[in-house]
Structure 1
């Protein structure tokens, strides 16, 4: 039997992508990424068994050590469980859920779903933000903060945030490690109130792909926005790239159609008007 025939007979799901043996990177990383893609696309559902090491050897035409390196990489990402006697089983991929209309509180949102987020600070350094950030914060004297948020060992968000150095002169990587940025702002006497946000789908570049353990060009959800305090001071301008296993919850409300006002609404307005007129008359009589 030819290698192609063996691959077709043993292949459990979908079509196996060929390996690029000329400059495509380590073979074990290519195999890991192919299986990762099948898991994310649900071609391999949680609880299902991966092909055995022998089957993967035949499918990809590689040695057992290469296959084991690929499976070890998937295990390190928390995507599979390697069980003695059962082989490798697809694990349930954790999903990060967050509310679009809620500013901050990502740790609390994750905790509400029985999850725990941790934060790793990559860098904190003086850096001028893009023009949109300058407009939002009203200053070029800012810290640029880069952080990665994790669910367990799985990276789920990469954050790039600018904050005014005049407000927060003592921010350091050590201070921000596994800490709430908004909580630290409150500790410095500033109360975050919220601000406009927008979400859009973007393609991951190579740096983002490496940080979030996804394939280059894979779609990510980018959340952009500004957080202000009650007085309108810009406290942060941020970009947050979310991995594909993120769900944004939106509480949508049906608005009253323009030009159509209910009779009950009219009645309440008339009663309110009468009450105000009565109180004004009382005040005028008392002032005479």
Structure 2
């Protein structure tokens, strides 16, 4: 079996740059190296070619090479070390608890990490049929956001929320902000709801948003968040990059067989209603 290709391709095998495309040469080199890191794959700590080798490989000046490497560093894909060259960086791992609704910022903070949110789109649009049923309305905002961990995109979120409940949402309000926190500020207290996780592959649009390549496996989390009274507050799809770990607290149940699931559901609903009433009383007392 022949050895696989390395990042330091010989000059005669180097991908050709298109000098007439209008795309800056440093951006073309950055994208070529990006594909090599994703497709080979190069493991964390693997050395990239030196600046001199890249100059010879692509036939460009050192300043162009340095711009390309800076672009990779900005994406969190490499670490540049003085006197040691550039190495592939380990992707930061996002950990989230599957049974916990929301609170992704708090979960990241518990691991010493900080999430950043960038709003890509917010406009009035009807949700898919499943979302309209979950929210009991077609009059919704459609919101697209990307979540970043250490400058690396880790999740792309597409969310629908009822416009009559949140008429004043703007991209500026949601930028680097928690949607659930904004809901609480408007007097709606998210309680949770059913979720499901499935493995999917990235289409070209998702690949671009998550800084990966088409066909890359992703984890799709889909569900609805309701308040304590069962009113739908959001219906969402969240595509997670492969560097996401879902933690599940699995327990062995010892409940008597005579207790039906319907009875448990009614008890949970009653508990949620009581919690909502207590929260409202506490708010008025303040």
Q: Is the 8 A contact 2:17 2:58 kept in 1?
A: no
Q: Is the 8 A contact 1:31 1:67 kept in 2?
A: no
User: Alpha-carbon deviation of 1:38?
Assistant: 5.8
> What is the aligned residue count?
245
Structure-2 residue corresponding to 1:34:
35
Structure-2 residue corresponding to 1:71:
69
Structure-1 residue corresponding to 2:58:
62
> What SS does the corresponding residue of 1:210 show, helix, strand or coil?
helix
In structure 2, runs of 5+ residues without a counterpart are 258-286
Structure-2 residue corresponding to 1:45:
44
Q: Is the 8 A contact 1:198 1:224 kept in 2?
A: yes
CA deviations over 1:49-87 (Å, ceiling 9, x no partner): 3232344567xx422457545433321211212223111
CA deviations over 1:96-144 (Å, ceiling 9, x no partner): 1111110000000000000011111112111000000011000001011
Match of 1:216 among 214, 217, 224: 214
Structure-2 residue corresponding to 1:87:
85
The structure whose Rg is larger is: 1
Matches within 5 A, 1:167-246: 167-246=165-244
Distance across 2 between alignment mates of 1:193 and 1:90: 41
> What SS does the corresponding residue of 1:168 show, helix, strand or coil?
coil
**Change in 2 beyond 3 A, CA 1:230/1:49:** same
Matches within 5 A, 1:100-139: 100-139=98-137
Q: Is the 8 A contact 2:193 2:226 kept in 1?
A: yes
Distance across 1 between alignment mates of 2:118 and 2:106: 17
TM-score normalized with structure 1 length: 0.75
Distance across 1 between alignment mates of 2:256 and 2:65: 63
How large is the Cα RMSD of the aligned pairs?
A: 3.1
